[in-house]
Amino acid sequence: MRMPEGAYRPHENLVATAREKPQIWRLLLGLIVAGFVTFFAGFAMRTVLGVVSPDFQRELLNPANGEGNTPLTLLLLLFSFGFVILGIFVAARLVQQRSPLSMIGPLPLAIRQFLRVAVLVVMLGILVMILPPYDMGEPLESNLPVGIWLALLPISLLAVLTQVASEEILFRGYIQQSLAARFRSPLVWMVVPAILFGIGHYVPAQAGANAALIAVWAFGFGVMAADITARAGTLGPAIALHMINNVTAILIVSVPDSLSGLALATTPFSLSETENLRSWMLVDFGFIVVSWLAARLAIRR
């Protein structure tokens, strides 16, 4: 995979500290450490919930409620991804002796790039909404009342930000940068994390025949997020792309099967329904590709 001369030079700003201890065993050990920290932090949270609010814990664990199909359970689920961030930060410090924030890049630059990309992608989304066609077939179903949805929106956005930041710090941060410190080829440090990202989104129990397609969609997004991270030298643009996508899918229009507790509306079809869902996914992936290209322009300003 040949890249334009110097296109990924900013990536070195992220990789430099990982390059000091580039052994692959450190990457693998770090993932184990991060897994243990995440697991035990989650276990501690569930234990505290069981003592403080047994009724809420029973509601959270009740399979009949689905996964995150009420506002409280979904907020708790999304914020629990903060334990992943904690785990990766601990692993980076203990195993690679690198500053955890070095995986994100210079914070002022990361925030500026995040805002540039987010504003541009939101503008693209508004443009898509006002252009024909004006619907996706069957009408959407109302989920949360508008007043409640607006009242929850600030904390909902923070919860989604926590979730997407954890995934970007894990895949485009710790894994991608650790691989780039050992292997110079983008075929390794772009593609391997994207494959893992796709596998993480393979959910046949929920998606049925759509599971493989969803995993391929996630792989494609992972490659684009890796590219924009390498060009930007921070995780800001990838987090922005990821967040706009998840805000749309979790807070605006969700599927009714799971993760619908904070959505304004839900689709009239489930995650496993092939015809309708695949039409939505095609449009969604096209929008992500356009957003990725726009983000590349935004970070060049």
pLDDT of residue 128: 78
Ranges of beta strands (E only) in 106-236 are 141-142
CA–CA distance, 86 with 253 (Å, rounded to integer):
30
What predicted TM-score, i.e. pTM, was given to this entire model?
0.92
pLDDT for 147-188, tens place per residue? Answer: 999 999 999 999 999 999 999 999 999 999 999 999 999 999
For the ranges 1-10, 106-115, 201-210, which has the lowest average pLDDT?
1-10
Mean per-residue pLDDT for 72-76?
Answer: 90
pLDDT of residue 135: 58
CA distances from 277 to 68, 133, 198, 254, 272 (A): 20, 17, 18, 11, 8
pLDDT of residue 106: 94
H-run or E-run covering 253? strand 253-254
Phi-psi region of 266 (alpha: psi -120 to 50; beta: other; left: phi over 0): beta
pLDDT for 279-295, tens place per residue? Answer: 778 888 888 999 999 99
